[in-house]
Structure formats: C-alpha cells, structure tokens
Structure 1
Amino acid sequence: MSDDDDSPLVKKSRIYYGSLEEKERERLGSKDGAKAGVKAGIAAGNINISSGETMDIEDRAINERHTEVLADFERRKRARQIAVSTDDAEVKACLRALGEPITIFGEGPAERRERLRTVLSIVGPDALKKSRKDDEKVKVKEHQQTWYHEGPASLKEARLWLARFSLPRAVKRLEAARAHKEIPEATRTVKQQELHKNLRNLNNFCSQIGDERPISFCQFSPNSKMLVTASWSGLCKLWSIPDCNLVRTLRGHETIVGSIGFHPQATISLEKSDINLASCAADGTVKLWSLDSDEPVADIEGHSMRVSRVAWHPSGRFLGTSCYDNSWRLWDLEAQEEILHQEGHSKGIHDLAFHPDGSLAGTGGLDAFGRVWDLRTGRCVMFLEGHLKEIYTIHFSPNGYHAATGSGDNTVKVWDLRYRKAVYTIPAHQNLVSSVRFQPTDGHFLVSVAYDNMAKVWSQPGWTPIKTLAGHEGKVMGVDMSPDGQLIATCSYDRTFKLWTSE
C-alpha cells in the first residue's frame, strides 16, 4: 500500500497520529511554561526554595499538647515537694510578698495554702526568699538614710564656738608637724631608736590592790601626779603618783562604774572645789566631782540605760557620754544642758573619744562599726567598717590623722583620717581588746590591753611589737599613759592596778 493511498484506514491512522503529536507538543509547551513560571516566581521572591523539615499540622499539635502535659506533671510534682506553712497569717503574708491576692472570694485556709503552693511551683520557692531579701534591703537602706531635725539655738552657738576653738589648734598642730619634718632624717631615726630602747626596758614599777572588786578604768591627772580608778564596787579612788597612796575615795555610785575622767585643766588651773572629774555607771547615772570632797557635786540626768564611757572635750566646756541606748550625748556644762543627742549605731555605743583639736568625736559600737563625727556640722564624716565583732575602744593620735580601735575580734585597727580607711590591722591579742592608747606627747607608739591578761606596746609607724607587759593575773580592762610620757598604768579584773616605767 503506498503513502498516497487514501483509503479510510490510512486517513484514520493519520488523524490518530496527528492528534498524538499535537498533544505531545501541548504537553511539552505547558511544561516549559510551568518551568518559566516557577523561575519567574523564584526571581520575584514569591516562592520559598529553602530546604527544611516539614511537619504535619496534626503532628505538631499533638507534640505541643504532649509537652504541656509533661510540664504540668513536673509542676505538680514540684508543688508536692514544697513545704507551706499551716499558719494562715503567714500564708497571706507570703502571697502578698509574691504580689498575689491574699484571699479570693469563697476561699478557705486550705485552698489558700494550695494556691500558694501552686504559685511557688510556677515561680520557684526561691522567689519568696528573694522577695524577703529585697524587702530587708529596702528596710536597711531606709534605716541607713541620714535624716536631720531642727536643733536648739544653743546647739548652733556651740557648733560655732567649737569651730573657733578647734581651728587655731589645728593650725598649731600642722605647724608643729611641718617643723618636725624639717628635722634631718638621721636625727629622727636616732630619737626613734632611743625611744624604742626605752620601751623595751619597760618593767613593773608598782602594783597596788585598788578595790575589793575588779577595776574597770584608770586615768592619770593632767599634771601626772594623781591616778583615778573606777571599780565594779561603785567606788572611785584617787591615788598619789608615784607612791600609789590612797588620797580620796569617791562615794556616790551604787553599781558598776564604767569610767571616770579628769577635766583637761584639773590639777593645773582649776580650783579643787571646781568640777574636776566626771564618772558614769551601769545604772545610767553620770556624776561630777571636785577634788576636796568625797561626795558628788552634781548629777547629770537623762540616761535610761547603761552609760559606758564619759569623755571630756579638750576645751573642758563639754562632756560626752556614750550609752547603750544606741546614742551618744554632748552636754554643755556652762549652760548646764544637753545640746546634742546623736544616734547612728544599731546597737549600744561602748566608747567615745574626742580628737585632740576638738573638732571631731569618735564612737565605737557593739554593732562592730565605728563612726567619726564632725562636731562643727553634726555630720558623720567617716564610717569605720572592718571589725568582725564589737568595738570596745577608740582613741585618736596626737598627730591628728591616726585613730585606733580595739575589738572583740582580738585585733587593733589603725585608721588614717586623711584617706578615710584602715591602713593596718594588728593581730594584737588572744582575746578581746579592751582599751588602746597612743603616746600622749607625739603618738610615736601605741599601747593595747586585752582579756588575755596582757598589755602590749606597738611602734609607729610599722606597728611592730616592741614590748609585752605581763604581770596581771586577770583580764586587763583599762590602760592610760601619763601626760609627761613617763608612766603607763594598767588596771585589771584581778582588782589591782600596775604602773610601768623604763629602768
């Protein structure tokens, strides 16, 4: 059969093959068009070509639900392990601390406990501790904020008087320091070596039984010819120096006497009938004494708790008292009134000392902190932080820029007022340090006493040990140095006081 045959079968075959070819062309054309459309979509950014995992929507929902169930199961497990107080008032306080409503309508104590447990299982049991710590920090911060109130007109007058008194003394002290600096280094070294040699030769010069009970305090008179002691029996006694003969017994206190001190001008320019001494006791009484009577001249009233120390201002016009009511007070004896009642410690104040210029006061507290106060402005100009236990003693050096504190942590810290920080810590004793004193003339050495029955002498500068004064059979409770620098006195729980001097 030829190709030109036009039989019906041939025509039908041509028509059939023709339709297949057309369909193939159409299919290829549509495929090319689809590819072109995909390329155009990719170029336009409308088609995401990144390779990534896919998850069926139904499977994702199942996994999320599974995770939620597990989390809820863990939360309930934690809730069962949380201990919640059975005190409903405490439960309400905990809810309030967490910022939750303390009660819900129709809720009983049991439901409230469960709600607290549920909240703690979500936020964590440490959230309550953190909230309490934050509240305590806020309270402490508020408590530490400095606040002022209007004082009497007499306080303003006293501050002006103190400024006029202290500034000339500071000028003289600085002039003396400059003059001392001009001395050749070799000369100063020789003098220091000679001083240390004399200190190494310190020995017990006199030992005297002072009372039937422990002797808590001792102090030399300004002319170095008398010594006054205070006892737990309530008696204060005057002794002649250096023979240690009893001159007078001061009777007036009925309980433990914490300290007694001479007026800065006593035995020098004051008459014996004037107020020459001040003392304080554990019952809160403060008494003033003359040198010609064994009865107190006057009482200072106002303390309701134990008064641990009295200290005369260098001017002699003011008297400072430290009290266990967390405050110290300044009394104007000329105006016969209390002009300052200063708070600032969180526990009782055990010791008080005045700067030799008369511009500053230092306090040591049972809260393990000390403070230095500017008497001319009333502000705390230095915070003494570093002791681990109570501060029982504080004293200023005659050089004007050193202060020493003794503590129940058995150490003595030396502070530099210029840098407002501790410059040295002396691991001084094996027990509580009860008192420290700088050399009254130059401050070239420091004496510390403690409840380990010892007194120790330390060099300045360097703060190295020079001499240990051993001899007391009980706790050494007080120490003082004579203004002329010749004698050291210590008093003890063994009811004796001892005098020490170099041979």
Structure 2
Amino acid sequence: MPIKQVHSIPAHVDRIWNLAPHPTLPLLAAATSDKSAQIYSLNTYFPVAQLDGNHKRSIRSVSWKPKSGSNSEVVLATASFDGSVGIWIRDSDRYAQEVGSTGDSGSIGLEEWEFVASLEGHENEVKCVDWSCEGTHLASCSRDKSVWIWEADEDNEEFECLAVLQDHTQDVKHVVWHPNEDLLASASYDDTIRLWREDDDDWVCSGEIIGHRSTVWCIDFDKTTGEGAARLVSCSADETVRVWSRESMTGNTAHRDIPSTFRSDPISENWQQEAILPQRHSGPIYAVSWSGQSGRIVSVGADGLLVVYQEVKTGEWEVIAEEEDAHSVFEINTAVWSRKWKSTASHGQEGDGEKGEPKPEEAEIIITGGDDGNINIWEVTFQK
C-alpha cells in the first residue's frame, strides 16, 4: 500500500519535538526547540499563530483542550524544558494586523492568543502534557520522575494540583489519557508503563506494564474500542512496537457507568501483551500514534523510518507502508494521525479554517516532525 508525501512545511530552523492536531478544528500545534509553539491551518498549511515569549527553554509538548458543552474557547497547553506548563487561550474576537508569510502568493493575518497561566512545581524539564477526554484534568510528566495531575477552573486561568505521582523510578517521558475514561497512562525511562486512576479523591497506580527492555518513549490508546475496553500501543528504545490489552479490573470501575465493587478493595488492572508488531526499525522508536479513524498505527524514530501497520485480526498486525529517510538524514521525533481537511473557502484566505466551514474528507493524513525543523504531511492509500 503506497504512502506519499503531499506537503512539507519548512516550519523552523530548530527541531520539531511534538505535534498535535486539534480534535475538532483544522488546527495543528507544533512544539519546537526555539522556545515557541506554532499553530498552522490544516486547510492551507499556513501559519496562523506563533506563541512565544513566556517559556525560557524549548517547548517539548503541546496538547489541545477538548471542547465541551457551551465552552467555545480554544485552549492549548505547552510543556517546556524550563520546568513549567503554559496555558494559552485564543482571542476569537481580535486578530493581529500583522501579516505572516505563507510561503506562496497568499497571506493571512496572525491570530491573537493570550498566555493566561503558568503551572509550576516540577523540579526538572517537563517532557509531556495531555488533557483528559472531557477537559477536566491536565496531566504533566517530567525528568524529575513525577506525574502531576491538575484541575482547571471554568476560565482555564486557575489550576489546582490534585496529585503528584512518584511511582516511576526514572525520567517520565510521556503521558496520555484514555479517549473516554478517566484513566491516565505514563511511560518512563525505567522501561515501564503505569496506569493511574482516581480512588476516593486520591490518585493511585492501578496497573503496571512490564515487557520493554529499554526506555518507553511514547504510548497511545486505541480510540476505536467500545465502553469498558482498553488497548494501548507503546514504542521503545528496544526497537519494538507493542500492543497491550486490559484483561481485567477489580476494586473500581473500568468505566464510570459500570457499578463498582466494594470500595474498600484497591483498584487493580491486569494488562497483557497482545502483540509485538513486525520489527522494521533499527534504532530507538520515538513516537507511535493510533488512528481513531482507520485503526492503523504509525511509528517513527531515530532511523528516519516511517512505518504504518494495520491489524489483520486481533493480535496480528502487518506493515502496509513504510518510507525511508522520511525527513532526509534527520531523526523523526513525532508522528500523529489527523483527518484530512478541505476548505470551501478560497485557498489562503481563511484564518483558522472555521470561517471556511471545512469538511473533513474520508481520507486521513499522517503528520511528522523531525530534527530538520520540517513538518511533513503524508497520505496512505485508503482501501475499502
């Protein structure tokens, strides 16, 4: 199954650490080593905002807050090597008069964003930040071996630290929330993955996944599973991509709508390895992403290889596409799936894409970022 590069954004001189497409809007956020976060339109691939001036070191991770109810604010969290987490809100009523270059004959005005909060407390670099499925909690992790869980007020300007979780014995590389449960997973330099849940106002470690033989760099939940089900993909410096599934849970609920057992019982989750995906990488694998649309998985890493996997049947996967030197000779730090957006507005004239009423196409795209400072857009032929 062929894969092709359809666009490349020469975004930065420095490396791209992390990418995050907005869950409902045609917006892409990029975390970079030049202390800024850039926001691009997924209709035009033009820049629409640059967030800088508040972090003192590289921005390592970005995460969009999901919209819920009547809340129409667009909120982005940024995690930095300066030990802080930043909260940014788009001012939807004001746009800067300054015009940014688009890279071709068109031009767009840059949006106005406000830096509303700085979350501090980590003792070292913050490696990752992620919003929960309903946007009620924010998780951050750090080189200080801890995972912090924060709760935001309605205005997203005041945050309370609910828990500092310190079960990992080494640098925590990544955190990610389950797509429809208040379940958090974290990956660490200690070669393990841990699961976290709230229990009687305390956050506890409900499960530990052991199997990788080196640093676990990135994890992502299966977004296609139904209620009560959970699967997780992980990648490691041991050059493997593995899929894990939750076999059982005791002490509390696997989903908030399912009656719990005795509250005195500790929460415990049993996770088992379901598959090791076909091995293609010849170096540390830095990122994996599980598509909520097609159910495919993509992986990238130090060897510059981009690999796409498809599940043939439960627990059995095959490689359907791969691209060598996907960022020339440079390492690839991040890869994410996104739906492919198409705007009804004229090319290059919309701001964030909302005014053009973009229509998501059936096809999906893969977005990668590397040490070359480029953001590359890829398409895999969709077979029905």
Give the TM-score of the pair, scaled to structure 2: 0.63
Structure with bigger RCO (C-alpha 8 Å, 6+ apart): 2
More strand by share: 2
Stretches of structure 1 lacking an aligned partner (at least 5 in a row)? 1-197, 271-275, 464-503
How is 1:67-86 mapped onto 2 (pairs within 5 angstroms)? Answer: none
Alignment of 1:247 onto 2:140: no
AA aligned opposite 1:264: C
Partner of 2:22: none
How is 1:3-18 mapped onto 2 (pairs within 5 angstroms)? Answer: none
What is the CA–CA distance in structure 1 between the aligned matches of 2:148 and 2:75, rounded to whole Å? 19
What is the CA–CA distance in structure 2 between the aligned matches of 1:443 and 1:353, rounded to whole Å? 21
* 1:443–1:379 Cα change, 3 Å: farther
> Aligned residues: percent identity?
22
More helix by share: 1
Partner of 1:429: 327
Q: Deviations over 1:114-169 (max 9, x none)?
A: xxxxxxxxxxxxxxxxxxxxxxxxxxxxxxxxxxxxxxxxxxxxxxxxxxxxxxxx
AA aligned opposite 2:55: D
Q: Spell out structure 1 runs of 4+ moving beyond 6 A.
A: none
Q: Deviations over 1:422-464 (max 9, x none)?
A: 111123113111111111576611111111111011123279x
Q: Is the 8 A contact 2:333 2:369 kept in 1?
A: yes
Question: Structure 1 residue 207: deviation in Å?
Answer: 1.6
Partner of 2:30: none
Q: Is the 8 A contact 1:251 1:294 kept in 2?
A: no
Partner of 1:221: 65
Q: Deviations over 1:345-394 (max 9, x none)?
A: 11010111101025210111011111001123632222121111111111
Q: Is the 8 A contact 2:232 2:245 kept in 1?
A: yes
Question: Structure 1 residue 412: deviation in Å?
Answer: 1.2
Question: Structure 1 residue 247: deviation in Å?
Answer: 1.5
Partner of 1:339: 206
What is the CA–CA distance in structure 2 between the aligned matches of 1:390 and 1:235, rounded to whole Å? 27
Partner of 1:394: 288
Structure exhibiting the larger radius of gyration computed from Cα positions: 1
What is the CA–CA distance in structure 1 between the aligned matches of 2:320 and 2:273, rounded to whole Å? 20
Partner of 1:371: 242
What is the CA–CA distance in structure 2 between the aligned matches of 1:365 and 1:399, rounded to whole Å? 24
Alignment of 1:353 onto 2:220: yes
What is the CA–CA distance in structure 2 between the aligned matches of 1:449 and 1:462, rounded to whole Å? 23
Q: Please tell me the root mean square deviation across aligned C-alpha atoms, in Å.
A: 2.1
Alignment of 1:446 onto 2:366: yes
Q: Deviations over 1:193-213 (max 9, x none)?
A: xxxxx9673211112215110
What is the CA–CA distance in structure 2 between the aligned matches of 1:200 and 1:449, rounded to whole Å? 18
Q: Deviations over 1:236-294 (max 9, x none)?
A: 0011135321011111112110101101101xxx4xxxxx1010001101111122334
What is the CA–CA distance in structure 2 between the aligned matches of 1:249 and 1:234, rounded to whole Å? 10
44, 48, 60: which is aligned to 1:201?
44
AA aligned opposite 1:231: S
Q: Is the 8 A contact 1:317 1:334 kept in 2?
A: no
What is the CA–CA distance in structure 2 between the aligned matches of 1:443 and 1:327, rounded to whole Å? 34
AA aligned opposite 2:275: M
Partner of 2:182: 317
* 1:265–1:200 Cα change, 3 Å: closer
AA aligned opposite 1:379: Q
Q: Is the 8 A contact 2:152 2:160 kept in 1?
A: no
AA aligned opposite 1:367: D
Partner of 1:232: 81
Q: What secondary structure sits across from 1:444 in the alignment? A: strand
Partner of 1:380: 273
What is the CA–CA distance in structure 2 between the aligned matches of 1:251 and 1:296, rounded to whole Å? 10
Q: Is the 8 A contact 1:436 1:446 kept in 2?
A: yes
Q: Is the 8 A contact 1:306 1:323 kept in 2?
A: yes
Question: Structure 1 residue 226: deviation in Å?
Answer: 0.5
Q: Is the 8 A contact 1:373 1:382 kept in 2?
A: yes
Question: Structure 1 residue 411: deviation in Å?
Answer: 1.5
* 1:347–1:226 Cα change, 3 Å: same
Number of aligned residue pairs: 258
How is 1:103-502 mapped onto 2 (pairs within 5 angstroms)? Answer: 201-209=44-52, 210-223=54-67, 225-241=74-90, 243-266=112-135, 270=136, 276-292=137-153, 293-334=158-199, 336-356=203-223, 357=225, 359-376=230-247, 378-384=271-277, 385-418=279-312, 420-427=317-324, 428-430=326-328, 431-439=330-338, 444-461=364-381
